[in-house]
Structure 1
């Protein structure tokens, strides 16, 4: 089993968690930036972290889970590895015309017990959409498992939530940002200055 510091170390050395001064898509500033795709580049870490994530659940809580499902793109690899640990199948949802849905011939059956997964949640919006997709098919949602929870308890999910890491969101308006006052240059995620870390910040 890995402790909190060991898990953080994996995120840091793979570039999945950076510290510094970042401008988020909201325009607010933060001293941390998460891009879980960077840790999921490494199959050995993906497997290790997903096994630890499953251990967060108590005896019997995931009993009978037949399917693990997560939103594309962030939840695809997490779904696959968690499903492998549980001996379940792995699905992912996608947006079609802005609506979260099952595509590619994927189906869920009435009464099927599923676990919803994601790499990082802040508002929990995508996860709620996946839960809705599962329930519309008549499936039973056992809970939600995420690698990093930055929701500050505000994800408003009506099912059990377990996270490998719980990292509070600390953001500032540009006018109130202490990092700006210190004269630390701000970097927008996706910049070449992030050692190749691209994409959208999960913060």
Structure 2
């Protein structure tokens, strides 16, 4: 049996989605590794496979809805919903930076929800979605991601699975060894830094 962690990371490397260098993360921290999920998810066969794999890794039980925070969770969230055969919705940040449901999406109290992201680093976005959906009466049964950059440490308030777990070092910019080496910092991704 193949190692799903290795297979997932191999797909990221093959598609150029696993980057090394000197990066400024959304949190403002620096890192020598970055995962640009959009580069691997642009290939439907990887997106579909990851969606099925996440569905299989999640605990058994009824799920009514899959929800993902925009932007990174959209494609993989949709694929997990397809694997479950349920509807898919997503959250977005409002003008004040707070997670919200828009576009006519809603939750019926008691609906069982799984939250899906592409990459979890601190778990902050997933935690925000958990809190939002619970405040609307949803039963959040689990969370999932393709990659867990926290080494398994991120606490999102519900059981969580990932297809691959990494132990990636992050640095405060004031004590970053990459900055000390004079390496130029790059900000990849879709969101501005904090």
Equivalent residue, structure 2, for 1:86:
84
Quote how far apart the aligned CAs of 1:184 are: 7.7
The whole-number CA distance in structure 1 between the counterparts of 2:88 and 2:174 is: 44
Q: Does 1:11 align with 2:9?
A: no
Quote how far apart the aligned CAs of 1:122 are: 1.1
Alignment partner of 1:135: what SS? helix
Cα 1:17–1:124 change in 2 (3 A) is same
Alignment partner of 1:159: what SS? coil
Alignment partner of 2:33: what SS? strand
- The question of whether the paired residues in 2 share the 8 Å contact of 1:152 and 1:169 is answered with yes
**TM-score, structure 1 as length reference:** 0.82
Alignment partner of 1:168: what SS? coil
- Unmatched runs of 5 consecutive residues or more in structure 2: none
Count of residues in correspondence between the two structures: 191
Equivalent residue, structure 1, for 2:133:
134
Alignment of 1:93-104 (within 5 A): 93-97=91-95, 98-104=97-103
**TM-score, structure 2 as length reference:** 0.86
Equivalent residue, structure 1, for 2:117:
118
- The question of whether the paired residues in 2 share the 8 Å contact of 1:93 and 1:103 is answered with yes
RMSD: 2.4
- Unmatched runs of 5 consecutive residues or more in structure 1: 191-197
Equivalent residue, structure 1, for 2:146:
147
Alignment partner of 2:6: what SS? helix
Q: Which has the larger radius of gyration?
A: 1
The whole-number CA distance in structure 2 between the counterparts of 1:149 and 1:23 is: 18
